[in-house]
Amino acid sequence: MTVLMDGRKLSKKIKEQLRVRVEKLEKSAGIVPRLVVIMVGQDAASQIYVRNKQQAAKKIGIQTIDNMLPEDTKEEEILNLIYEYNEDPNIHGILVQLPLPAHINEENVTHAILPAKDVDGFHPVNMGHLFMNAPHSLPCTPRGIMELFKEYEISPKSKNVVIIGRSNIVGRPMAALMINADATVTIAHSKTLNLSKLTQQADIVIVATGQPQMLTGEDIKKDAVVIDVGMNRLPNGKLVGDVDQASIDGIASYLTPVPGGVGPMTIAMLMKQVVEFAERSVKNDC
């Protein structure tokens, strides 16, 4: 039987723990964690994710400062906004929702955020810390996956891990986290040959390709752990991952469902990093 790793349930537990931490922080140091949210344009999926982040923050006691900007906002305006928030000592974290409209250079924007306020862990300084096994903040989806491993007592140590996808927000940081956890890691991508041969030898397969249901039961070995990062809307409106859940069922030992697996954990980890940053601001004040 394949165990479904319940990210929705775990994320609720984590968010409740964070609510208690925020309450304590306010009582002991008079600090309310503050997160700047910057969203540019009208991307339908991003609007849902941002709304979910704002709602999660509210429940936990994190204050959001929302900047919902029109599609035609100039890159310079976004950079100036970020510079202002970088300087504001009352702001603990800055989040720019991705993707950005095509006329804006994503790199320029994510690199403008002060590493100490980079709650998404996308800044090259934070990526560097992660690759040197001394992380400051982490990209939220990979961190959420590590929390799921911990919750289900799955140790990556000495396991063969195949990650399909080499994006900056999932594949690459995921590889670093897995190396740091003593796994043996292969990163596969669109130019990889004989992909199925690689995945069939993996103890853990992490799929982040954006290709609906591309990984099937034939691609994995018995009892593999399968992590599905995909989020694909089919023409009939159904949301599916990059894994063909039906054909994996009974072959994989564990699987993250879509929806309800990795997605909710991404938001919980963002909240966790905002709270961690706010707590650090007290320590740094002493």
Ligand X SMILES: Nc1nc2c(c(=O)[nH]1)N[C@@H](CN(C=O)c1ccc(C(=O)N[C@@H](CCC(=O)O)C(=O)O)cc1)CN2
Task: In angstroms, give the least distance from the CB of 44 to ligand X.
Answer: 9
Three-state secondary-structure class, residue 270: helix
> By CB under 6 A, how many residues form the interface with ligand X?
19
Chain Cα centroid distance, residue 248:
24
Closest CA to 271 of 6, 8, 14: 14
Does 260 bind ligand X (CB under 6 A)? Our answer is yes
Task: In angstroms, give the least distance from the CB of 96 to ligand X.
Answer: 6
**Which residues contribute to the annotated binding site for NADP(+)?**
165-167
Region 103-142 residues binding ligand X, contact defined as CB under 6 A: 120, 140-141
Q: State which residue has the least CB distance to ligand X.
A: 263
Residue among 114, 195, 214, 239 that touches ligand X (CB under 6 A): 239
Q: How far is CA 91 from CA 112, 139, 274, 277, in A?
A: 15, 19, 10, 10
**Which residues contribute to the annotated binding site?**
165-167
Active-site residue, 120 included: yes
Chain Cα centroid distance, residue 190:
21
Does 242 bind ligand X (CB under 6 A)? Our answer is no
Three-state secondary-structure class, residue 214: coil
Does 264 bind ligand X (CB under 6 A)? Our answer is yes
Does 101 bind ligand X (CB under 6 A)? Our answer is no
Active-site residue, 272 included: no
Burial class of residue 18 (count of CB atoms within 10 Å of its CB; 0-12, 13-18, 19+)? buried
Q: Quote the CA–CA distance of 36 and 94 in Å, as a whole number.
A: 5
Catalytic residue among 120, 203, 219, 242: 120
End-to-end CA distance of the chain: 52
Task: In angstroms, give the least distance from the CB of 224 to ligand X.
Answer: 21
Chain Cα centroid distance, residue 174:
10
Does 273 bind ligand X (CB under 6 A)? Our answer is no
**Which residues here bind ligand X, judged by CB under 6 A?**
48-49, 95-98, 120, 140-141, 169, 231, 239, 258-260, 263-264, 266-267
- Which residues belong to the active site? 53, 97, 120
